[in-house]
Amino acid sequence: MVTFFSEARLVRSGAQCLSTNKDLAGTGWTRGLLGVPGLRLAARVRDDEGQPAGDLWALDGSVAPLPYYVGARGTILALPRLAQATHRAVRESDVVVARAPGVIGLMAAVMATVHRTPLATEVVGDIEDVLLAGIAGAPGRRMAPIAGWVTRRAVGRSRAARYVTQHTLQHRYPARRGAPTVGFSSIVLPADWLGAPCGPQSPVPTILAIGSQEQDYKGHDLLIRALLRLRASSPDLELVLVGEGRRQAYLRDLADELGVADRVTFAGYVADRAALRELVDRAWVFAMPSRTEGLPRALVEAMARSRACVGASVGGIPELIEARWQTPVDDVDALVERISTLLADEGLREDTGRRNAEVASAYQVESIEGARQQWVRMVTALIPRR
């Protein structure tokens, strides 16, 4: 049995596990592992007690339930039960595939190493960047070097590793000497996201950003601060923020405080893909001034729609957009300069958008299938022969 340890949160109704994330529906949870024999998912599961959870989609396949928790405090309270359940799931496994960063993935990796269970890792982000960005507050910043060391140790002891970047995460979290590695993203662009005409679809200059507002790491606060200064040269400029989370109240207060609330649209979570594509198409500039990233789906999708894009030089963003459109983390001055340059020059936006669409075309299913099959073979090769 091959067990994939994930940070996913599921709802159990009878014998069926469900998810609020449509991307996990059916065999979607397998991500790049579809085709590995005897694959099951280890994830947080809570019983359906009639609590409203929004739309739910059923998962196919076997699930090893882990204790359900949310947030830092929930993690601490659940640790003893989580360790026990993770240990049991690892002992039942012939191969462990651990997704990092994440408490569950790292715990499974450590236990697999102790029990000498073959271990493969999927590296989808930079835990040091995440913690240094303030996701867990001051304690998290202090723990960042330790978390990075633990992750490097786990990946360094893996017998196979997969990365969502081509270079960045490989450099930060290298696999052990001689271990096979592969780099590919789980992002697969639908055909209708490719081939959009260059040029803005909105008569009003618009900046678009997409991302969770549960924490501050997407940098939406930086865009609100940048908007105040950008309006000096573009008074009709609008900022559209797609996403939701507990920090949205802070973002609304910040927009009020700076006097730009009338030019900021909080679009919430947009589940309808056609509606989301329309928002992307209307944007003059797509911005992702994140404080930490893996390889961001929203940026790849905006590039596929031939949008001019600006982003912070973190995670996999430098592998996607040109250096001149990257900004240092938390640098509002650079953000204003990059965005204003693009807003002022339609031809430049179109040229940049065409280049972005070419880069994004590499994320079609046929472009990554070879690398995905290689990963399946690498994990399958770790299964002990009986």
Residue 68 near residue 51, CB atoms below 8 Å: no
182, 212: one domain: no
CB burial of residue 54 (10 Å; 0-12, 13-18, 19+): exposed
CB contact at 8 A, 337 and 320: no
Q: State residue 4's pLDDT score.
A: 96
**E strand or H helix that includes residue 97:** strand 95-100
Tokens coding 382: 């770790």
Name the one residue in this structure whose structure tokens are 């949008």. 307
Task: Evaluate whether residue 97 is within a structural domain.
Answer: yes
Enclosing domain of residue 301: 191-363
Considering the domain architecture, whether residues 116 and 128 belong to the same structural domain is answered as yes
Q: Are 248 and 217 in contact (CB under 8 A)?
A: no
Q: Are residues 299 and 182 in the same domain?
A: no
| CATH number for 326 | 3.40.50.2000
- pLDDT value of residue 378: 97
Please tell me the predicted confidence (pLDDT) of residue 367.
Answer: 77
Q: How far apart are CA 110 and CA 117, in angstroms?
A: 10
Q: Could you give the 3-state DSSP secondary structure of residue 288?
A: strand
CATH number at residue 47: 3.40.50
Closest CA to 270 of 182, 210, 219: 210
Whether 355 maps to a domain, the answer reads yes
User: Are residues 253 and 272 located together in one domain of the fold?
Assistant: yes
Unique residue bearing structure tokens 């910040």: 254
Gap between the Cα atoms of 75 and 93, Å rounded: 24
Residues 210, 273 within the same domain: yes
The rounded distance, in Å, linking the Cα atoms of 88 and 168 is: 34
Q: Pick left, alpha or beta for residue 162 (phi over 0 → left; psi -120 to 50 → alpha; otherwise beta).
A: beta
Query: Is residue 271 situated within a structural domain?
Result: yes
On whether residue 232 sits in a domain, the answer given is: yes
Q: Same domain, yes or no, for 351 and 373?
A: no
Pair 64, 195 in one domain: no
Q: Are residues 14 and 139 in the same domain?
A: yes
Do 131 and 143 meet the contact criterion of CB atoms below 8 Å apart? yes
In tens digits, the chain (386 residues) has pLDDT values of 999 999 998 998 887 888 877 778 787 888 789 899 999 999 999 987 665 456 778 888 899 999 999 877 888 899 999 999 999 999 999 999 999 988 999 999 999 999 999 999 999 988 887 787 766 677 778 888 888 998 999 999 999 999 998 888 999 999 999 999 999 887 888 878 887 666 667 889 999 999 999 888 899 999 999 999 999 999 999 999 999 998 999 999 999 999 999 999 999 999 888 899 999 999 999 999 999 888 899 999 999 999 999 999 998 899 999 999 999 999 999 999 999 999 999 999 999 999 999 999 888 877 788 899 999 999 999 999 87
Q: Please give the helix or strand (H or E) that residue 229 lies within, else none.
A: helix 220-230
Q: Are residues 117 and 196 in the same domain?
A: no
Q: Would you say the C-alpha torsion 241, 130, 87, 95 has a positive or negative sign?
A: positive
How many Å apart are CA 98 and CA 117, to the nearest integer? 12
151 and 276 belong to one structural domain? no
Residue 241 lies inside a defined structural domain of this protein: yes
pLDDT at residue 80 in the model: 95
- First-residue to last-residue Cα distance in the chain: 12
Pairing assessment for the beta strands 95-100 and 285-288 based on DSSP bridges = unpaired
**β-bridge mates for residue 12, sequence order:** 17, 47
Residue 385 lies in a domain: no
Residue type, 195: G
DSSP string, 303-368: HHTT-EEEEESSTTGGGTS-GGGEE-TT-HHHHHHHHHHHHT-HHHHHHHHHHHHHHHGGGSHHHH
In a domain, 256, yes or no: yes
Pairing mode, strands 16-19 and 57-58: antiparallel
Q: What's the total number of domains in the chain?
A: 2
Separation between Cα atoms, residue 293 and residue 212, nearest integer Å: 12
The answer as to whether 14 is a domain residue is: yes
- pLDDT recorded at residue 134: 67
Q: What confidence score (pLDDT) does residue 53 get?
A: 54
Both 326 and 375 in a single domain?
no
On whether both 229 and 255 belong to a single domain, the answer is: yes
